[in-house]
Amino acid sequence: MNVDARGALRAALFAVAVGPWAVPVAAQDHSAMHMPMPATTPAGNKPQGKKPAAAPIVHETHGDHMAIPPGTATPAAGQGQPEGMHDMQGMQHPIQTAAPATPRTPIPELTDADRVAARPPRDGHHPEHDNSIQHYTLIDRLEISDADPGTHLEWQGRTWIGTDLNRLWLRSEGERSGGVLHGADMEVLYGRSIATWWDVVIGGRHDFKPGASQDFAAIGIIGTAPYKIELQATAYIGQGGQASARIETEYQALLTNRLVLQPLVEVNLYAKDDARRGVGAGLSTVEAGLRLRYEITRRFAPYIGLVRERAFGETAGLRRAGGDAAQDTRFVAGLRVWF
């Protein structure tokens, strides 16, 4: 192929490739691409003809409540709910039952006695409770145990009558073994309150046994020490210048509501020997006991326990000389009663 033929072929191919793009822009037809524009309305003029479509109702919810826009009509009873509103009947709170018409414990009717009690006294003063007469009796120990001569019986109790400030006290304790009374005494005391839970007592004591009967003047203190330790400490001055002292402490350990463990210690001291009564000077005897009681009622309680007694010094020698042991351990069973 010659040079002229090749040039003519290239020119034809180029014309075919760029032909469509060579049309002038002004000659292009835009009628098919025309988009209608909305007609503008001058400010302040409302369009005539159709009313514009209402805006959709928007429901705003706050927690369990639904807010309805102002102006929205609510359905009447029995009519359906507007579209978009939920049925609130299924979302009601639980129905609360009404309170009973009458209380479970009716209030008693007001009586004439109640009205009289509510009136102030004529003299303008109410009676003072601390001046009322009260009384209390406690049989702390009434117990038996097994002894060589026979059954051993022991008791201890006290009672008082009076007010919170002034009282008359009676106290007694003793023991009987094999049908023979080995020791017994009775105290009559006047008590005066000096502090909360503490009384000072003064009076006399009469010993029936051992030996011949004898009288003593007594002064002491009764009360409750810290940690609820009950204390009785009394000094005695007897005929012939004999002086002695008795100290007793006990504690109430509440194991359960009715089971109570009661440890007790009693110490006796004498100023000088008294062979007729079987006591020596100094520390005479010490008795320690541990009793476990069951309170059938608060006022009546049986118990069991273990008691150990030991004599010291001259008192121990006098007991051995009389054929008795200087120390003794025994199991006891008894009752504790108060009223």
Residue 101 tokens read as: 């018409």
Q: Is residue 297 part of a domain?
A: yes
Residues 6+ apart with CB under 8 A from 307: 145, 287, 288, 289, 290, 329, 330, 331, 332
Residues 6+ apart with CB under 8 A from 38: none
Q: What does the alpha-carbon distance between residue 208 and residue 216 come to, in Å, rounded to a whole number?
A: 12
Number of domains in the chain: 1
Q: Reduced to 3 states, what is the DSSP secondary structure of residue 48?
A: coil
Q: What does the alpha-carbon distance between residue 194 and residue 161 come to, in Å, rounded to a whole number?
A: 17
pLDDT averaged over 10-residue windows placed end to end, the chain, 339 residues: 60 58 47 49 47 48 46 48 49 58 75 82 62 92 85 94 95 90 94 95 93 91 95 92 94 96 96 88 95 97 97 92 88 96
The predicted pLDDT at position 314 comes to 92
Q: Is residue 72 part of a domain?
A: no
Q: Is residue 105 part of a domain?
A: no
Q: Reduced to 3 states, what is the DSSP secondary structure of residue 5?
A: helix
Identify the helix (H) or strand (E) that includes residue 173.
strand 166-177
* Phi, then psi, of 41 in degrees rounded to 5: -110, 130
**How many other C-beta atoms can be found within 10 angstroms of the C-beta atom of residue 289?**
19
Q: Is residue 38 part of a domain?
A: no
The predicted pLDDT at position 131 comes to 77
Identify the helix (H) or strand (E) that includes residue 229.
strand 229-238
Residue 280 tokens read as: 């020596």
CATH assignment of the domain containing 312: 2.40.160.40
DSSP string across 135-161: EEEEEEEEEEEE-SSSEEEEEEEEEEE
Strand partners, 168: 161, 190
Q: Which domain holds residue 188?
A: 133-338
Q: Is residue 277 part of a domain?
A: yes
The predicted pLDDT at position 118 comes to 80
The predicted pLDDT at position 108 comes to 84
Query: Are 279 and 270 spatial neighbours (Cβ–Cβ below 8 Å)?
Result: yes
Q: Is residue 19 part of a domain?
A: no
Question: Residue 123 is which amino acid?
Answer: D
Place of tokens 């702390």: 140
Residue 321 tokens read as: 């000389």
The predicted pLDDT at position 302 comes to 98
Q: Is residue 18 part of a domain?
A: no
Q: Is residue 117 part of a domain?
A: no
Q: What does the alpha-carbon distance between residue 315 and residue 336 come to, in Å, rounded to a whole number?
A: 30
Residues 6+ apart with CB under 8 A from 292: 259, 260, 261, 262, 303, 304, 305
